[in-house]
Amino acid sequence: MKPGQVVLLVLAGAIGGAVLLYMAQRLRPAIPAGVSAPVREPAPVAGAGSPKPSPVPERREAPKPQRFPRKAREGQPAPVPAQLPVSLATSGPTIAPPPARTEPENVTPAGSPGSTPAPPPRQVTLNAGLLIPVRLVDGLSSERNVPGDAFHATLDGDLAVDGLVIAERGARVEGTVVAADAGGAAKAAALTVELTRLYTNDGQTVAIQTDSFERHGEAAGRKAILLPAVTRITFRVKTAVQLTDRLRRN
């Protein structure tokens, strides 16, 4: 072989080796700077001194979670839940049902034909001649008052008829001035009054008529008749008055 051919072969071999080295570097994964390539340890050879492999634990299936039964579709019966054990179903307190209410056999409902009717309301009468003592609330005078003037007074004691207190002491009564004369040189002064209304305990307003109460001056002159407040006057019932028994028994 000629020397020139030898040189060409050497150059071709060098160029081919460089190309192969370049291709190998391109195919190898890049390793960051400062990080060494991992060193693989040789696989352990089974022998007397090698450790035994740990047993693989048996794989068990996890218990399935319980779920509420789904709502039954229309036209299909709802699933029946499993019955609880007797020990759980009866563990709560036992509540006894309330006893049945029994009505006595001899009880008659109100308003039935066999029930006792309520007694009719009793009636009382303020008979003529009944005395009604009062005390004036408004003072009266033969000079100041004129016929037709009204006045107020209160009962000076309980007014009772047949065991019934019709009006208690302090109950309101009303009256009117029948006549009033201031008097003068020829005649003495005079004042006449009567009761006209009585207010009972149960709120009734009863119209009454009484005999007149009259007071006259002692002699002719200018001295007027005066009946100041709290003056006690006793009137006598003139016409009987009937009242319905809505009054409190004494």
Report mean pLDDT in 10-residue bins for the chain, 250 residues. 72 78 67 51 50 60 54 52 48 61 57 67 89 96 95 95 89 96 85 96 92 87 88 96 66
Question: Which pLDDT score, from 0 to 100, does residue 18 have?
Answer: 76
**pLDDT of amino acid 96:** 65
**Dist. CA 157–CA 233, nearest whole Å:** 12
136: left (phi over 0), alpha (psi -120 to 50) or beta: beta
pLDDT of residue 68: 46
Q: What is the pLDDT of residue 87?
A: 46
Identity at 250, one-letter amino acid code: N
Q: Give the pLDDT of residue 97.
A: 63
What is the predicted pLDDT for the residue at 249? 45
Task: Supply φ then ψ for residue 105, to 5 degrees.
Answer: -70, -25
CATH topology assigned to domain 123-244:
Lipocalin (2.40.128)
Name residues whose C-beta falls within 8 Å of residue 14's C-beta, 6 or more positions apart in sequence: none
| Nearest CA among 219, 172, 221 for reference residue 197 | 172
CA distance 113 to 242: 32
Q: Which among 139, 140, 138, 142 has a CA at the least distance from the CA of 222?
A: 142
pLDDT of residue 247: 46
Whose structure tokens read 């008529």? 209
The pLDDT assigned to 187 comes to 84
